[in-house]
């Protein structure tokens, strides 16, 4: 084994991190996301009213060209890096003009890595810029510039824009074939969400041209997509709400046949295929206003409770949110995690839809009755899948604070590290559907313990009794909660406890992992205060990113940060907002995409015989630890 010293530390520069770990920056299934990144930049110009036309050409050799009539990339020298703006943008991660609101009030390209990722993962990229009466050109191979930016021609002063042509490098993708159907859906959505934006797609392989240009609202689009389907209301309900620093545009209706056909959500015109906090806001807003309407008109049967799933069944919607500084769960931006937008969406939808329901009481009654029917059907079905009562065998653990609901589609059990955190969690929870069971310190390392012996540990025994299943039991009909959530501190000790609990479920309750019942809550490590605003950060990287964005917007901003020592240090409202409330929490589902790799990793971390392997891993990756 080679000696481990400072010389062993590898520093990745420029675009090397992308080329080394492309999956961290893009979807490596196919190159569609590369097109999306380039198109997003052009759409951002359209959002600011600087562009109204985007042309996408797919050539026979697999290269793609995106041509817009926006302002054109900056061609002057960067004051500190001494390179042209074009070269900085295309070769430097986290470089861009969208970190503040000086150039873009709203933008999808926020992280400053999108277009540089396209360059890093392309065999060849050529950029042309029309700006200030000249045509500029620069070319790159595998992310490296071939030469400097140069003028190649004159153009009319009013003729501006950026043309980027790139050829994806097949080494980084499972397939270099584009998903044209998905691409068309994306381009059509961009045109719908940005009225008067003309998008043209030409496929050289088929010699076909497809164009999109919409001038109506989202209601027209949703109605068109649901042609031939009976919906309520008819026509669909659509609304547009704009404030100084955020905007909401949405359309919705329910399919009489209970089908969810269109459930599209966007943030700054970027599709969020996995939803997020803005979509959670729809659920909350609709539940509040429909329950209010049903109670007012005496439609709600006694003892019946409407939940999110009742609203969701048959709901079709298009939701477009515009906001500054959106936070996503990854560079591919598939899920929005910005907490502050949820309350804006829910209150806006509640207010506007409540007003509409009361102006249209006959249709409002029809909508409410449809949702009440959903709730009654769910209640009937849930009688077969209710949380099991303990009628024989060991009693429920004394520390378990149970919930009221019995429907497995709703109930959640939080396994919480320590009595102090358990007490805060009990105060922060919604006792209707959230149960809490505190655990005493680090549980037993069960990775190498036989299932027949694992229940000798009191903590493991209590967990098994609470969830209603024994180790290695494949009969999930005994399960008492639909979601079992691991909740530990965000520091290294908490992560160790979370690892031990993950290992317990992977090793001894594997069926629950396979069926998607195990989750890990992601509490924040930091609270960031500036002015009257509060933000929360999951780790150091997110904290630094948030602080950098604040400083770039206001150099004189007074920022104070608080590092939470543990969950018990957070007051119940903070814990509810950041970790427990379904609208604003971060909850990650445990899955086994590669069970062999998961087993190997946990074995390396927890097996006694793997001490030497663990040492090597710690030496190589110890710098990633949270301290």
Q: How far is CA 120 from CA 1, 93, 123, 349, 374, in A?
A: 33, 10, 8, 42, 50
Catalytic residue among 325, 417, 462, 542: 417
CA angle 617, 622, 623 (to 5 degrees): 140
Residues forming beta bridges with residue 328, ordered by sequence position: 336
Instruction: Map residue 218 onto helix, strand or coil.
Output: helix
The residues, any chain, with a CB within 8 Å of residue 178's CB and separated by 6 or more, are: 30, 31, 32, 35, 58, 64
Residues in the chain: 627
Query: What is d(CA 13, CA 533) in angstroms, rounded to the nearest whole number?
Result: 35
Q: DSSP letter at 623?
A: G
Strands of the 315-323 sheet, one edge to the other: 231-242, 246-255, 315-323, 263-267, 270-271
Known catalytic residue: 417?
yes
Cis peptide leading into residue 506 (ω within 30°): no
Straight-line distance from the first to the last Cα atom of the chain, in angstroms, rounded to the nearest whole number: 27
Annotated catalytic residue within 470, 493, 539, 603: 493
CA dihedral 104, 108, 113, 118 (to 10 degrees): -120
Neighbouring C-beta atoms of residue 139, cutoff 10 Å: 15
Q: Which residues of 22-47 are buried (b: 16+ CB within 10 A; e: fewer)?
A: beebbbeebbbbbbbbbbbbbbbbbb
Report the distance separating Cα 144 and Cα 324, nearest Å.
32
Task: Compute CA distances 338 → 105, 330, 577, whole Å.
Answer: 17, 12, 12
Q: Does the annotation mark 473 as catalytic?
A: no
Q: Which of 491, 539, 603, 613 is catalytic?
A: 491
Query: Is the separation of the CB atoms in 507 and 447 below 8 Å?
Result: yes
Asked if 310 is an active-site residue, the reply is: no
CA distance 549 to 485: 32
Is 204 one of the annotated active-site residues of the chain? no
> Long-range contacts for 286-292 (Cβ within 8 Å, ≥24 apart)?
286/252, 286/311, 286/315, 286/349, 286/350, 286/353, 287/311, 288/346, 288/350, 289/349, 289/350, 289/351, 289/353, 289/354, 289/357, 290/357, 290/367, 290/368, 290/371, 292/354
10 Å Cβ neighbour count for 154?
A: 10
- Assign residue 435 a region (left: φ > 0; alpha: ψ between -120 and 50; beta: otherwise): beta
Q: Give dist(CA 353, CA 426) in Å, integer.
A: 33
Cis peptide before 211 (omega within 30 of 0): no
Helix (H, G, I), strand (E, B) or coil at 589: strand
Catalytic residue among 37, 45, 249, 489: 489
CA distance 275 to 280: 8
Separation of alpha carbons 192 and 261, rounded Å: 17
Catalytic residues: 417, 489, 491, 493
């Amino acid at each position: 084994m080679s000696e481990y010293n400072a010389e062993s530390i590898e520093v990745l520069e420029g675009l090397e991190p992308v080329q080394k770990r492309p999956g961290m920056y893009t979807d490596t299934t196919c190159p569609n996301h590369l097109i999306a990144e380039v198109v997003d930049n052009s759409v951002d110009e359209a959002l600011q009213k600087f562009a109204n036309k985007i042309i996408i050409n797919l050539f026979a050799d697999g290269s793609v060209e995106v041509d817009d009539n926006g302002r054109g990339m900056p061609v002057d020298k960067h004051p500190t890096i001494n390179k042209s703006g074009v070269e900085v943008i295309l070769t430097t991660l986290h470089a861009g003009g969208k970190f503040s609101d000086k150039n873009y009030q709203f933008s999808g390209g926020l992280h400053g890595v999108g277009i540089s990722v396209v360059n890093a993962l392309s065999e060849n990229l050529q950029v042309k810029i029309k700006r200030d009466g000249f045509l500029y050109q620069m070319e790159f191979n595998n992310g490296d510039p071939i030469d400097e930016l140069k003028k190649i021609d004159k153009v009319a002063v009013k003729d501006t824009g950026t043309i980027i042509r790139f050829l994806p490098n097949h080494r980084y993708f499972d397939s270099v074939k584009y998903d044209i159907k998905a691409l068309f859906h994306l381009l059509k959505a961009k045109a719908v969400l940005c009225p008067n934006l003309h998008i043209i797609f030409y496929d050289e392989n088929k010699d076909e041209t497809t164009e999109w240009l919409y001038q109506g609202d989202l209601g027209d689009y949703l109605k068109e997509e649901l042609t031939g389907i009976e919906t309520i209301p008819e026509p669909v309900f659509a609304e547009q709400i704009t404030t100084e620093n955020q905007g909401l545009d949405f359309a919705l209706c329910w399919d009489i046949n209970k089908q969810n056909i269109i459930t599209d959500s966007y943030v700054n015109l970027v599709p969020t295929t996995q939803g997020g906090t803005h979509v959670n806001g729809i659920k909350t807003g609709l539940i509040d206003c429909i329950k209010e309407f049903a109670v007012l008109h005496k439609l709600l049967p006694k003892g019946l409770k409407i939940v999110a799933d009742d609203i969701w069944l048959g709901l079709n919607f298009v939701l477009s949110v515009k906001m500054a500084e959106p936070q996503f769960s990854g560079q591919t931006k598939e899920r929005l995690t910005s907490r502050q937008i949820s309350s804006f969406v829910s209150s806006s939808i509640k207010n506007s839809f409540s007003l509409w329901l009361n102006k249209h009481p006959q249709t409002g009654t029809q909508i409410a009755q449809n949702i009440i029917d959903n709730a009654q059907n769910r209640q009937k079905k849930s009688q077969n899948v209710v949380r099991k009562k303990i009628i024989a065998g060991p009693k429920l653990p004394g520390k378990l604070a149970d919930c009221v609901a019995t429907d497995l589609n709703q109930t959640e059990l939080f396994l919480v590290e320590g009595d102090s955190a358990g007490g805060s969690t009990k105060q922060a929870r919604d006792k209707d559907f959230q149960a809490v069971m505190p655990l005493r310190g680090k549980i037993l390392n069960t990775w190498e313990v036989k299932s027949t012996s694992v229940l000798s540990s009191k903590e493991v025994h209590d967990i098994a009794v609470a969830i209603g299943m024994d180790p290695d039991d494949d009969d999930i009909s005994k399960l008492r909660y639909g979601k079992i959530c691991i909740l530990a501190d965000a520091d290294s000790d908490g992560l160790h406890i979370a690892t031990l609990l993950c290992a317990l479920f992977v090793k001894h309750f594997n069926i629950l992992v396979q069926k998607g019942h195990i989750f890990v809550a992601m509490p924040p490590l930091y609270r960031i205060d500036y002015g009257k605003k509060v933000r929360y950060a999951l780790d150091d990287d997110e904290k630094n990113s948030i602080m950098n964005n604040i400083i770039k917007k206001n150099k004189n901003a007074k920022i104070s940060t608080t590092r939470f020592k543990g969950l018990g240090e957070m007051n119940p409202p903070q814990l509810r907002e950041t970790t427990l409330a379904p609208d604003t929490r971060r909850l990650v589902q445990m899955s086994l995409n590669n069970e062999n790799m998961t087993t190997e990793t946990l074995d390396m971390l927890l097996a006694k015989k793997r001490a030497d392997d663990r040492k090597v891993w710690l030496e190589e990756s110890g710098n990633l630890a949270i301290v």
